[in-house]
Structure 1
């Protein structure tokens, strides 16, 4: 279970400042951490972490033990591939060691285990969009020796099953993270069914949980569901030919675990697609169809590097519109995308064209290069840019955008009150 913040005062890695009858934990930027267990958090946690900093924490536990790290809170600027703010974990005492994971967003990673008695955590932030950062607990553990303590892997057979460690003899272990990557043929989808299910219950599945994703990585925007408790989830069918199933247990209460079965099925209406042979040489199939015309290259601007420039403040005055809102729909139009956005806040509108649909204020924006920036349906952003002659906002590869967070509203409101 997540411990009360007051208990964070115990670990030696936290220095304490004494106020009037109050002790408050102060988390520094990095440090050398030793001992059998303790807490680590981003600088200033739970306040917003500072911009433009890199902090490193080196953990060393007694010889013959391994480090088990479990994240209790994660709030780092979201990006699909964690290009901006991120937390990296290394299997050793330096950043040249094997990287065990790179994390951002608000999805809490599973427990991470080193292979030696040392682990390095590194957090880097850019000059924009902070969150509360992270809080993690570490402990010294024994190296896994039994085969049934290992879990996860790649599953490619047409049908199969997988289960939590120790199933069905006893409860699953504490402090583990398992990921099963199921991969079918290009013309298939994957149906997942849980035959038995018992995972520590919590209203928000904050402690132990099973998360299912469309695709091969734990991307929040592709999450199909997050489950815990003692009721098996309904069957889940993937959108494509890949599915990732992640199981996480924290360092306290455990339960029976689960047994899951999967079945790869042909996608409705899918044509046969030549597959690879086991000799790793593709089958050559003659085709009577006319050759596919070469894809037209998009505007020259789409061949430039996709990277936002400047800061929230520097781009505010240069933009004709500044809004925050949720992407409701994305429609491909050649090399561009038309994004339908439900506006949450308007900070600058110029002549941006909007319309009222029920209780929503809707606008349509043109993403000039469809993969730059890589907007996701269902996600919320702060967006800004120019407005064309017909009142349509335009998003360019160098347009400034952010995954929306409530703290941005205060900053943008202040910018609105200033004269550009």
Structure 2
């Protein structure tokens, strides 16, 4: 929902690429929105403005995966963010999701969880952060519950994040950002 300066400019996100595809969300303002999960394999973006006021614009990151809506993928770039499936809510299906982040060579990645909650059963609902390109590399740690982990910096330009949920409804809801 747009507030503030929405009378000047907004970005419409559609569930599909056609002009008459349903609008999922209208974005405007300065606050990083919650993720948008499309139910189709295409998303349409329409920027609407009356050109009376100039703002810096949008920086959009997306992931696509065959693991399920919002469940894993390969992410490249110099910075970005991603969340647990269905964020900010809990995910109610049993899944193992994995994300691989790769930034340009000769850079390292700083990982910062900006939100982490729920996950009362650390044996079945957790996140593991790895310092490398797979779950066979060194671990930063295994995280669950409501405590946000301290920032982490990789030793290379790749990080691997594994998210496990047993679907009991106590899954972890998280948002993770990265910079390089």
Equivalent of residue 22 in structure 1, options 26, 39, 46: 26
Q: Quick one: structure 1 residues 44 and 64, their matched pair in 2 at CA, closer, same or farther if it must change by over 3 Å? A: same
1:95 Cα deviation after fit: 0.4
Q: Which runs of 5+ in 2 are unaligned?
A: 1-10, 16-21, 28-34, 38-68
Could you report, residue by residue, the CA deviation over 1:226-260 in whole angstroms, capped at 9, with x for unpaired residues?
Answer: xxxxxxxxxxxxxxxxxxxxxxxxxxxxxxxxxxx
For structure 1, list consecutive stretches of 5 or more residues without a partner in the other structure.
1-9, 141-420
RMSD: 2.3
Deviation at 1:52, TM superposition (A): 1.1
Q: State the structure with bigger RCO (CA 8 A, min sep 6), 1 or 2.
A: 2
Equivalent residue pairs, number: 125
- Kindly indicate whether the alpha-carbon contact (under 8 Å) linking 1:51 and 1:130 is maintained by their aligned counterparts in 2: no
**SS class of match (1:59):** strand
Q: Which has the higher helix share?
A: 1
Give the Å deviation of 1:44: 1.4
Matched, 1:73 2:77: no
Q: CA, structure 1 residues 85+97, in 2 after alignment: closer, same or farther (shift >3 Å)?
A: same
Equivalent position SS for 1:39: strand
Q: Distance in 1 between matches of 2:151 and 2:101?
A: 15
Runs of 4+ in 1 over 6 A off after TM superposition: none
1:383-394, aligned counterparts within 5 Å?
none
Q: Which residue of structure 1 lines up, in the alignment, with residue 133 of structure 2?
A: 93
TM-score between the two structures when normalised by the length of structure 2? 0.63
The alpha carbon displacement at 1:131 in A equals 4.3
**Structure 1-normalised TM-score?**
0.28
CA shift, 1:47, in A, is 2.1
Looking at structure 2, the residues matched to 20 and 108 of structure 1 have their Cα atoms a distance apart, in angstroms, of 29
Specify the SS of the correspondent of 1:53.
Answer: strand
Match of 1:39 among 40, 58, 81: 81
Distance 1:44 1:61, change over 3 A: same
SS at match of 1:66: coil
Cα contact 2:125–2:172 (8 A) shared by 1: no
Going from structure 1 to structure 2, the CA distance change for 1:77 and 1:20 (only over 3 Å counts) comes to: closer
Q: Is the 8 A contact 1:73 1:135 kept in 2?
A: yes
